Amino acid sequence: MRKIAALALLATTSACSMNPRLEVPEPPVAPAYPEVVAEAESAAALDWRQMFGDPRLQRLIELALENNRDLRIAALNVDAARSQFRMARGAQLPQVDAQGSYTRQRMPTSTAGAAMGGGIGGAGGPSGFEFGQYAANAALTSFEIDLFGRLRSQSQAAFERYLASDEGRRATRIALIGSVVDAYLAERLAEEQLALTQSTLKDWTVSLDIVNRLHEAKQNSGLDVAQAEGQVRQAEADLAARTRGLAEARNMLQLLVGGPIPQDLPAPIALTDQPIETQLPVGLPSDLIVNRPDIRQAEHELVASNADVGAARAAFFPRISLTALFGFTSLALDSLFDKDNRTWSFSPQISQPIFRGGSLRAEYRLAEVRKSIAVAQYEKTIQSAFREVADGLAGRETYVRQSDAQNKVVAAATRRTELSNLRYRAGVDSRLELLDAQRSEYAAKQTLLNLRQQALSSATGLYRALGGGDGQQQAVAASGTAPAPAE
């Protein structure tokens, strides 16, 4: 039995590989980002706590990382992939089972004599003979000697998919952090827009009251009243919309956090004062392959598909399997393990596919096609990452200028409202001119709030596109390897 085990171990360690040589394609992107001077460092090295300094936002991110269901599902997918890898690796090793049995048998009188003559002892009777048999065996069941590496290729493919699923979990973690930030900024925007609408409605309601009093004193026309009332009603409609928007933003934030928002969170910080870094260094496009887990995930899928091709090629070659048994058989339990009661059997088997109706060739072709798909997906993932960074760079270069210009628009609109109000009181301008100035100022302030939120979201998107947001992947990226699943 030890010789059989040694032969099986030698077979598992000497298997050749049918995997084709894998040539990872060059990144199908430019060597540098458009209109950006090469930067030595990348913001991906920043931890998310350094990127997002708002204590309330940090607490929300921590809660999401603990409770979010999408992240929990991604972690369970990693566990499932780990189990599949262990199953594939276990198929390469001998399967040894210990068996014990007891058989009670009755023989009729016509054959009992022959059995007695053969030395079988037991209790005889007038109509037959009964005896018991004990057995204890160790069995090697259909162990395949992997001479052509089919099982090894399958095990490699399973291991690479385990690594891919782990990278997928990291990608989900990064996406979750970015989604929480976006939802928090949306909540801040909705709350500040609601506050602006409430303040505007209050001012316009006071103005409507003044217009009504003037109308009662016969100092203006009904047209002024209608215009002022229409302005107030529009603000009331906006107030309802802003209230709904705030509720929806909080619902989204609660979904991402994975539970009710705690009441003891730190006070929120306004959009204008948000401590989010917006001028991020981006490094080189080649850094994305190291920093972004979705690209590493696609690369592991590519290696797994290449191993699938090797397993499909090995299926054309003979399969050699071993079945062996060693044990003891006795009619008496107390003498079961005596030397003379030993039994053994050894059954090597070889099979060579001859005709399978083209199924093996179809499986091989399917594996090659899936490898080609994996190559295309790998390249597409890199191109998508490059585009996301380029979009973030476009935002980094333009949002500052746009915000400065919009601040000037708000200042000009505010000044116009003040002057229009003075001219209206002096009787120089009509009520319509004042209403137009007030609406322009209100719209400019709403646009400025939107612009502030978009600028912060753009910086968050660039940080996420660079592969930042998860301190866990930095160690893996630095080492270039990932650990095998623990036993």
* pLDDT mean by block of 10 residues, the chain; 487 residues: 50 67 86 70 86 94 93 92 88 84 79 52 60 84 84 91 94 94 95 94 87 78 83 92 95 93 92 89 84 93 94 90 87 83 87 88 93 94 92 90 94 93 81 86 94 94 87 46 46
Residue with tokens 């004193």: 217
Cβ atoms of 213 and 105 within 8 Å: the answer is no
C-alpha radius of gyration, the chain, whole number: 38
Residue 308 lies in a domain: yes
The CATH number linked to 295 is: 1.20.1600.10
Residue 337 lies in a domain: no
Question: How confident is the model at residue 124, as a pLDDT?
Answer: 52
Amino acid at 284: L
Residue 7 lies in a domain: no
Residue 110 lies in a domain: no
Contacts with 280 (C-beta within 8 Å, 6 or more apart), sequence order: 43, 46, 392, 396, 459, 462, 463, 466
Cβ atoms of 153 and 88 within 8 Å: the answer is no
Q: What is the DSSP letter of 52?
A: B
Question: Which of left, alpha, beta for 404 (phi over 0: left; psi -120 to 50: alpha)?
Answer: alpha
Q: Give the helix/strand (H/E) hosting 108.
A: strand 96-108
Amino acid at 331: L
Torsion, Cα 279 280 281 283, to 10 degrees, reads -140
Question: How confident is the model at residue 487, as a pLDDT?
Answer: 41
Residue 411 lies in a domain: yes
Q: Is 276 helix (H, G, I), strand (E, B) or coil?
A: strand
Q: Which of 191, 192, 189, 204 is nearest to 236 (CA)?
A: 204
d(CA 461, CA 393): 10
d(CA 428, CA 317): 98
Burial class of residue 483 in the structure, from the number of CB atoms within 10 Å of its CB (0-12 exposed, 13-18 middle, 19+ buried): exposed
Q: Give the helix/strand (H/E) hosting 125.
A: none
Q: Which of 272, 228, 449, 308 is nearest to 19 (CA)?
A: 308
Residue 60 lies in a domain: yes
Residue 30 lies in a domain: yes
Q: Which of 278, 471, 282 is nearest to 389 (CA)?
A: 282
d(CA 351, CA 364): 19
d(CA 207, CA 294): 56
- Positive or negative torsion for Cα 394, 397, 401, 403: positive
- Positive or negative torsion for Cα 187, 190, 195, 196: positive
The pair phi, psi for residue 69, each rounded to 5°, is -75, -35
Cβ atoms of 459 and 469 within 8 Å: the answer is no
**Domain with 456 in it:** 19-92+149-317+359-479
CA 69 distance to own-chain centroid: 11
What length does the chain have? 487
Q: Is 116 helix (H, G, I), strand (E, B) or coil?
A: helix
Residue with tokens 């049918």: 18
- Positive or negative torsion for Cα 402, 407, 408, 414: positive
The pair phi, psi for residue 219, each rounded to 5°, is -105, 0
Burial class of residue 180 in the structure, from the number of CB atoms within 10 Å of its CB (0-12 exposed, 13-18 middle, 19+ buried): buried
pTM: 0.82
d(CA 487, CA 481): 18
Q: Can you name the residues that pair with 42 across neighbouring β-strands?
A: 282
Angle at the Cα of 193 from the Cα atoms of 438 and 53, rounded to 5 degrees: 135
Burial 287-315 (b: 16+ CB within 10 A, else e): bbbbbbbbbbbbbbbbbbbbbbbbbbbbb
Residue 124 lies in a domain: no
Q: Give the helix/strand (H/E) hosting 344.
A: strand 342-351
d(CA 185, CA 456): 8
Q: Which of 481, 478, 482 is nearest to 42 (CA)?
A: 478
Q: Is 88 helix (H, G, I), strand (E, B) or coil?
A: helix
Q: Which of 367, 303, 324, 308 is nearest to 88 (CA)?
A: 308
Number of domains in the chain: 1
